[in-house]
Structure 1
Amino acid sequence: MEALSDEINLLVTLNSGYLEPLKVMLYSAHANNPGERMHLWLVHASLTPDEVASVRRLTTAFGWELSAERVTADFTAGVPLIKRYPREMYFRLLSGQILPKSVKRVIYLDPDLLVINNLRPLWTLDLAGHMLAAAVHRGVTNLMDSVNQLRLGTTTSYFNSGVLVIDLDQARTKIKLSDITQTIEKYESELILPDQDILNFLYGPDILEISEEIWNYDTRKYLMYQTRSLNQHEIHWVMANTVILHYCGTPKPWDPASDGKFTGLFLNYQQQLQRLNGRLRDGENES
């Protein structure tokens, strides 16, 4: 296992459409990891200086480091089929090429998450030689594994790309843009979730499976988790043990139509963030 820094490296990649949910996610990570040193790597292609500054105000208030990496390379040049997919979908897979070589490991997090417990066990996870770690959203049975193996011709479980631990030294050697673009060109009609399908198609055998109930809990599936655990994983268990809640699918918890089991929790963190932003603005006005 590689030597890890004490500081936890978090990676996020997004455009402005997910900027506000990202801030709620970051607030939840800070609130539930008190005293942890974090370094946020914000990788983007189109955020404005003001938008980056709005994230920096938060990370400064948290006592975190922030590195904003603007990607200027056009990964879609000369590959017409790929232009229909957001550029940001490449950034998590290509983070080894984007981030400084001094960064050896990152935890990638989608912006539609809440972090409700301690992230450090994920940071210190022994990858056992694997390049990546990810969870599988299985359902009550393993049926979807079989469906995706037939669809993609893969031999592994179908991993969700919303939470990843990435060994960047391995990624710098193994993940190549040419492999990604060639795969999309060849299998474009079969791809449903392009970034996730590519992750599984190209790199599935190099992924260590981690618990979805702990590290990538699909908030739509509360009753399924409860059934699968014979009622052990009820709401008290989730709040005490689950670390990352993932608001998969739609409506998202910030949409007025959302009324799910975990919508209120997201809205509460959103309110707390708004109060913090108000205090930060008041402090700036006073100075």
Structure 2
Amino acid sequence: MSTLNVLYACDENYAPFAGISMFSLFENNRDIERIRVYLVSDNVTDKSLSLLRAQAESFERELIIIDAASIVDIIKKLNIPSYRGSYTTNFRMFFHTFVDPDVDKLLYIDCDTIVASSLAPLLTLDMQGKAVAVVRDSLTTSYKTLIGLDENDAYFNAGITFIDVKIWTEKKITERLLDHIQNVRSRYCNPDQDLLNIALRNDKYILPPEYNFQPSHRAFSDKTYFSAYRHTSYYSHEELENARKNPVILHTYRFIGDFPWHKGNVHPDTPIFDDYMKRSLWSDYEKKPAGRGMIFTIEKLMYRFLPKRLFFKIFAAFTTRQFEKQNAAIVEDMKKNTGSV
């Protein structure tokens, strides 16, 4: 029997979005015989867990709830820093402590996703001996050189990560990550994503963009995108166009300050998110404003009224500069506190 093993992690705030993502996963993968979902729960309420279980049962799928408390204890003992007051982003590093022994491949999916098509091709994917299969990140170019990567290294988005558990274990990837945190550097702008890119620099298989299709490619044409972002190596127009027409996983992360579940957003994935939300057990979810600051209000106005190409060039320059400033601030702070990075 073919089995797709999937990992989510969330707290109560993200439980509805994990549920909507799971609904899309179940709805569009009826062709897979067995789907087993692991959910690492960081204080998710009993009410939300009941809804998540009910949804899985309605599709006759397995949902295994993992209490995050023991993982948080491990993280604290190892002095791994939290991110915005939460340890959720680091849970995937410790999947080996709770997945069943028969799990050979594990698909980690962020909660801000819609699975729009079948994931069956992943079950027979030849990863060529690599520990993970991932998609390149659309918004990172020169920043990667500030964290120790070369200009020609492919920087990936870690929101969807297909893990070969055997290879991960054999190559001691978790140990590699922990060694870096404790002996090299523990804080980054994109905490787990930067760290994973460094540790898996030579251990990643690059997937086509449809497996983690990102908002910039939905909102802007390829011509506009490439006028602002110049990668040393990236997907071709043909690859992006195919992903645009046939997305497998839509990664609906923040766009102009909002997620598609925020009131008044301009997110390109809102129509498809709303469709799945209305068909899920969270159909009564009430959208609320993101409550972001003045910068995001101005950014949204610029997006609405400026020519798209001009806006995107400003956006790309600003984003790149922010990464540079944040990284410099983190490095300086770590030097003050520890005497080294």
Q: Which residue of 2 aligns with 1:187?
A: 185
Supply the distance in 1 between the matched residues of 2:239 and 2:199 (Cα, whole angstroms). Answer: 36
Matches within 5 A, 1:58-137: 58-71=55-68, 72-73=70-71, 74-78=73-77, 80=79, 82-84=81-83, 86-137=86-137
Letter in 2 for 1:164: T
Aligned partner of 1:253 among 250, 257, 260:
260
Specify the alignment match of 1:154 in structure 2.
149
Equivalent residues of 1:220, 1:260 under 8 A apart: no
Give the 3-state SS of the residue equivalent to 1:166 in structure 2. Answer: strand
C-alpha distance in structure 2 between counterparts of 1:45 and 1:265, whole Å: 27
CA RMSD for the aligned pairs?
Answer: 2.6
1:271 aligns with 2:278: yes
**Seq. identity, %:** 23
Instruction: Write the distance in 2 (CA, Å) between the matches of 1:15 and 1:275.
Output: 16
Deviations 1:98-119 (A, max 9, x none): 3122211111111101111111
Q: What is the aligned length? A: 264
Equivalent residues of 2:105, 2:164 under 8 A apart: yes
TM-score by length of 1: 0.81
1:241 maps to 2:246: yes
Q: Secondary structure at the match of 1:201?
A: helix
1:67 Cα deviation (Å)?
Answer: 1.3
Deviations 1:190-247 (A, max 9, x none): x1010101101112211111112x110112332545436658956xx55641101111
Q: Structure 1 pair 80/168, CA: closer, same or farther in 2 (3 Å)?
A: closer
SS at match of 1:245: strand
Q: In 2, Cα distance between the equivalents of 1:264 and 1:158?
A: 29
User: Does structure 2 conserve the Cα–Cα contact (< 8 Å) formed by 1:107 and 1:123?
Assistant: no
Counterpart of 2:205 in structure 1 is 208
Q: In the TM superposition, what whole-angstrom CA distance separates every residue of 1:167-206 from its partner, at most 9, and x where no partner exists?
A: 11222343465543443354245x1010101101112211
CA shift digits 1:247-266 (9 cap, x unpaired): 12230000003123221111
Asked whether the 8 Å contact 1:154–1:201 carries over to 2, the reply is yes
| Matching residue's letter, 2:75 | T
**TM-score after normalising by structure 2:** 0.69
Q: Distance in 1 between matches of 2:86 and 2:179?
A: 17
Give yes or no for contact 1:95–1:168 (8 Å, CA) kept in 2: no
Distance of 1:272 and 1:161 partners within structure 2: 28
Aligned partners of 2:131 and 2:167 also within 8 Å: yes
Cα separation, 2, equivalents of 1:59 and 1:221: 31
Show structure 1 runs of 5+ residues with no match.
Answer: 278-287
2:215–2:253 CA contact under 8 A, matched in 1: yes
Distance (Å, rounded) in 1 between the aligned partners of 2:275 and 2:10: 23
SS of residue paired to 2:192: helix
Amino acid at match of 1:26: M
Q: Secondary structure at the match of 2:23?
A: helix
Determine the C-alpha separation between the residues in 1 that align with 2:262 and 2:134.
Answer: 27
Which stretches in structure 2 are left out of the alignment for 5+ residues? 227-235, 285-341
Partner of 1:106, secondary structure, is strand
In structure 2, give the amino acid aligned to 1:96: H
Taking structure 1 as reference, are residues 77 and 269 closer, same or farther at Cα in structure 2, changes over 3 Å only?
Answer: closer
CA deviation profile, 1:137-173 (whole Å, cap 9, x unmatched) = 246xxxx34430x111124311111111101122234
2:194 equivalent in structure 1: 197
